[in-house]
Amino acid sequence: MLSIISFVLGPVQTNAYLIADDENGAAAVIDPAAEGEVILAEAQRRGWRIGHIWLTHAHFDHISGSAAVADGSSPPPPVGLHPGDYWLWRNEGGAPLFGMRIDPGPEPTIDLVHGKILRLGGVELEVRHTPGHTPGHVVFYCPAEKVVFCGDLIFQGSVGRTDLPGGDFNQLVESIRTQILSLPDETRLLSGHGPETTVGEERVSNPFL
């Protein structure tokens, strides 16, 4: 079974997810948004070992906690990112555009390409490339648990913004159609901001689709 702990962290209320195979405590952080020490403390309290940092995309509000998570883990977990967002990662996730500076943490060494299978203990997640919000945006789909960690691709009643560098609205809608709306209605969507929703709910009520 996959255990999922969510946190709302940082200046723009970003959702970070600490997930683990509860059989053996093998854990990963999806989008360590900020305040990595808060995520670390929760993992330690539960006796989980963080072995991976997986990024849906490289915007600063999804990566600012990487440094603290890595510094507090031994060995430091490798960081996974789609190659299409490396340029953004190198530019501090666009933070300077908003007058901020961040430490993006350890350099990504795992290429999260479309179709790659990520293993967490006995749980498997599939990487799906979903460009539009950023060129290298991905989502993580766990078929056994019927859940998608969907970053800033789609939100309850909304979709990711496409006015930042590398954004493309038509591409975003195409990504949602092919990679999200193709999934069963009961599939849970855990977004990068705001409350959880489902594929079925967005299929009928999302005004952008």
Q: Which is nearer to Zn ion, 83 or 98 (CB)?
A: 98
Contact criterion met (CB below 8 Å) for 34 and 85: no
Least Å from the CB of residue 21 to Zn ion: 26
Q: Which helix (H) or strand (E) holds 126?
A: strand 123-129
Q: Please report, in angstroms and rounded to a whole number, the separation of the first and last CA atoms in the chain.
A: 32
Provide the binding-site residues for Zn ion, judged by CB under 5 A: 59, 61, 152, 192
Least Å from the CB of residue 61 to Zn ion: 5
- For Zn ion, the nearest residue by Cβ is 59
**Residues listed for the chain:** 209
Least Å from the CB of residue 166 to Zn ion: 10
Q: Which of 12, 35, 16, 28 is nearest to 191 (CA)?
A: 16
Name the residue with tokens 């530019």. Answer: 91
CA 55/CA 48 separation, integer angstroms: 19
Least Å from the CB of residue 112 to Zn ion: 15
Q: Which is nearer to Zn ion, 21 or 61 (CB)?
A: 61
b/e burial code for range 34-60 (CB count within 10 A of at least 16 → b)? bbbebbbeebeeeebebbbbbbbbbbb
Least Å from the CB of residue 133 to Zn ion: 6
Q: Which is nearer to Zn ion, 14 or 198 (CB)?
A: 14
Q: Which is nearer to Zn ion, 3 or 162 (CB)?
A: 162
Q: Which is nearer to Zn ion, 21 or 152 (CB)?
A: 152
